[in-house]
Amino acid sequence: MGVVSQAAAAPRVKELTRPPTSLWADAWRRLLRNKAAVLGLVIIVLILLVAIFADDSVVAVFTGRDPQPLLAPRHFAKQSLENNNAIPYWLTHVFPTLKPVGVEGGYAKINDTYILGADYNGRDLLSRIIYGTRVSIAVAIVGPLVSLVVGVSVGIVAGYAGGRTDNLIMRFVDIMYGFPDLLFIILLMALFRSTTSAAEAGTLRAVLTGVDNAMGGMFFIFVGIGVTAWMSMSRLTRGQILSLKQKEFIEAARAVGARDGRIIWRHIVPNILGPIVVAQTLNIPQYISTEAFLSFIGLGVQRPTPSWGSMIADGASAIRTYPNQAIFPALALAAVMFAFNFLGDGLRDALDPRLKGTD
Amino acid sequence: MGRYIARRLLWLLVVIFSVSLITFAIAHAVPGGPFSREKKLPPAVLKQLNEKYRLDDPLWKQYVDYMGGIFIPRITQGEPITSYLEDYLINIPLGEYTLRWMNFGPSYKSQSRTVNDVFRENLPVSAELGLYAFLVASLIGIPLGIVAALKQNTLVDYLAMAIAIFGVSVPVIVLGPILIWLFAIRIPIFLPTGWGSLRAEVLPSIALGLGSSAIIARLTRASLLQVIREDYIRTARAKGLMERVVIIRHALRNSLIPVVTVMGPIFAFLVTGTFVTETIFGVPGMGRYFVTSITNRDYPVIMGTILLFAVVIVIANLVVDLLYAWLDPRIRYD
């Protein structure tokens, strides 16, 4: 949908009197009127702040000392074995099956300094959830970038070149769609992770592994997401380009002698940005849950870096006795997913008001 | 139509072949063989094991042998003999001969069992779970979407869409622990783990199916809303048909066409994506077996599972395309 057709589709007499605004300014105004989307945006900004200020590494990077916990009460890896599985007293009201020592059939240690309780190693759950925002936020930012770069460029090439190239690329996309997603990403992670130990110094493998270790295991997660998530993006991009290619303004640009690169960047990309941004925002929850799933089965973020997925895995095995250990990270994960879904829905309505109320 | 199906089936073979090649390449790129352990096996034992499973053959030969075992049917005389190298998933008796097909080879890890043993034991459970989840998804999703569309912009609509956005936002690893705590521990109506009884099967089916039900509900609503605005619905009303007839006969039938197109991928996704659910609810399906076989580099199990699931996905998509043409006579394939 070109900028031109967008304006023509809603010719309201009243709006003609106000100064012309760009598509994006218009969209932003509409977005701010959507309460759910604003709520989502606020939650995302809050979580982003929590992720940045979980500890004072923003400052520590410049002073050169080890970062100290800032928002988090403790460091995520700090153990206190005498406090393993400890719970604060208020949790016994929330989870009536969780009985403190002293009552009949009671087993849980009470320690009110752990606001959400401690895990089986005596590590503070709240602190680990706070540090865990870093992994989810990183995936929420890098996941779309990876699938954008790969998916959109493949889509542009296929759609713009057309003919045999297009056919070949799209057949390959079809083949990739034949893979069971989860199994394929598990297989990929197994490949990446197992090379970690076997890599010889100086090889590409060793460099990649080094990068991955420096990022706490995040690098390979990004690669895994990139490999499995680009296909839908490239299909979307290709479809958009195929319909744009027929438009008169592209023909006009070509008539005045614009080169392919210029046509793509100045005329095509700005016009397909809307649907792509919407699709990516709606995909973010999927990336976040992919990371959580990988960490859940032990192929994701390396321990002891906390990920909500691995926390849920640990907690799920103790759900009868200490439900708090699985439920709280699960709620955190749900909150982020909600926020991105609200924002994505809002963005779609804002960027294409004609769709509003139909989906 | 016949030519279209033939072409699609041919393409299906190409996809399966490519998937198998890529999977084989990745699985064998993982360093270390299936028998490299922390404590090294004696060289003589290792040599014998490699010989037994023909791991010393060049890779291309291993691949060709493997694919041949699966795809080339064999006819044998007399009672079928099953050994760790010869175990066929499909055995059709033809008088004194037996037609045997799909030998997925031995499992390296559990050395007395074949991949087909693993499939026979675990696959039905996974398939059942996926199927139940699919039922949950359709039986909740379609009615919810219809109600929301018919009562557009009322409380019912908002409530239905709130349920839908909840379903989309909450993945199995979130829903699983919460469902277990609420309905198996706090109020013990259902069992937290296991399989084989209704009380054990309800929670995992809901946990897996709810997310997809939300997708179906949103799509059903959107599609029905679009159809209701069409001219032929106005015509139907104008000629005095009862509202019920207008909705059921004219609107609903057409609005479900796009819904059917997502049902295929959703079905494939549910049947092949039962892993997390199985781990959380302790369901003895393919899921946990697949993850351990990856860490054990049990190539035949990895290959077999991915291939089998790829077939499910490709066939589900084919069926949807055919259904699409059948439901909407305007669509023609040729």
- Per-residue model confidence as pLDDT tens digits over B249-273: 888 888 888 888 888 889 988 988 8
pLDDT at B79: 67
Segment A71-84 mean pLDDT: 84
Banded model confidence at residue A212, pLDDT cuts 50, 70, 90: confident
Banded model confidence at residue A115, pLDDT cuts 50, 70, 90: confident
Residue B316 CA: distances (Å) to CA of A176, A240, B69, B267, B320: 15, 26, 25, 7, 6
Q: How many CB pairs under 8 A join A and B?
A: 145
Q: Chain B: nearest CA to A54, how far in angstroms?
A: 23
- Check pLDDT > 90 for residue B321: no
Q: Which residues share a beta bridge with A181?
A: none
Count the Cβ atoms, other than its own, within 10 Å of residue A33. 11
**CA–CA separation, A82 and B125 (whole Å):** 42
| Inter-residue contact A132 to A308 (CB < 8 Å) | yes
**CA–CA separation, B103 and A81 (whole Å):** 51
CB contact under 8 A, A337 and B171: yes
Banded model confidence at residue A12, pLDDT cuts 50, 70, 90: low
Task: Sort out which chain B residues have CB atoms less than 8 A from A183's CB and list them.
Answer: 272, 290, 305-306, 309
Banded model confidence at residue A287, pLDDT cuts 50, 70, 90: very high
Q: Which residues share a beta bridge with B100?
A: B74, B91
Banded model confidence at residue B169, pLDDT cuts 50, 70, 90: confident
Note whether residue A179 is domain-resident: yes
A257: domain range? 44-78+123-355
Distance of CA B143 to the CA centre of its chain: 23
- Nearest alpha-carbon partner for B162 in B172, B174, B171, B170: B170
Domains of chain B: residue spans and CATH: 2-72 (no CATH), 115-327 (1.10.3720.10)
Residue B85 CA: distances (Å) to CA of B54, B102, B287, B303: 11, 12, 24, 16
Banded model confidence at residue B242, pLDDT cuts 50, 70, 90: confident
Banded model confidence at residue A1, pLDDT cuts 50, 70, 90: very low
CB contact under 8 A, A316 and B280: yes
Q: A43 or A247, which is more confident? A: A43
| CATH number of the domain bearing residue A307 | 1.10.3720.10
Q: How many domains does chain A have?
A: 1
Nearest Cα residue in chain A from B225: A358
Note whether residue A165 is domain-resident: yes
Q: What percent of chain B stands above pLDDT 70? A: 95
Note whether residue A141 is domain-resident: yes
Cβ neighbours of residue A155 under 8 Å, at least 6 residues apart? Answer: A233, A234, A235, A236, A237, A238, A240, A241
| Inter-residue contact A233 to A155 (CB < 8 Å) | yes
- Check pLDDT > 50 for residue A357: no
Alpha helices (H) along B53-93: 59-71
Task: Sort out which chain B residues have CB atoms less than 8 A from A345's CB and list them.
Answer: 165
- Write down the residue that tokens 């218009």 correspond to: A26
User: Best mutation site among B169, B221, B259, B262 for testing chain A: the one with the most A CBs within 10 Å?
Assistant: B169
**CA–CA separation, A116 and A112 (whole Å):** 9
Q: Is B49 on the interface with A (CB under 8 A)?
A: no
Segment B158-165 mean pLDDT: 88
CB contact under 8 A, B169 and A187: no
Banded model confidence at residue A198, pLDDT cuts 50, 70, 90: low
Q: Chain A: nearest CA to B239, how far in angstroms?
A: 26
ipTM confidence score = 0.83
pLDDT at A359: 43
pLDDT at A10: 54
Q: Is B310 on the interface with A (CB under 8 A)?
A: yes
Q: Which two tokens stand for residue B132?
A: 């139940």
pLDDT at B39: 65
Q: In B, residues 120-159, which contact A (CB 8 Å cutoff)? A: 152-153
Q: pTM (2 decimals)?
A: 0.85
Q: What percent of chain B stands above pLDDT 90? A: 24
Nearest Cα residue in chain A from B158: A357
Closest by Cβ to B279, choosing from A292, A297, A319: A297
Cβ neighbours of residue A274 under 8 Å, at least 6 residues apart? Answer: A1, A23, A27, A351, A352
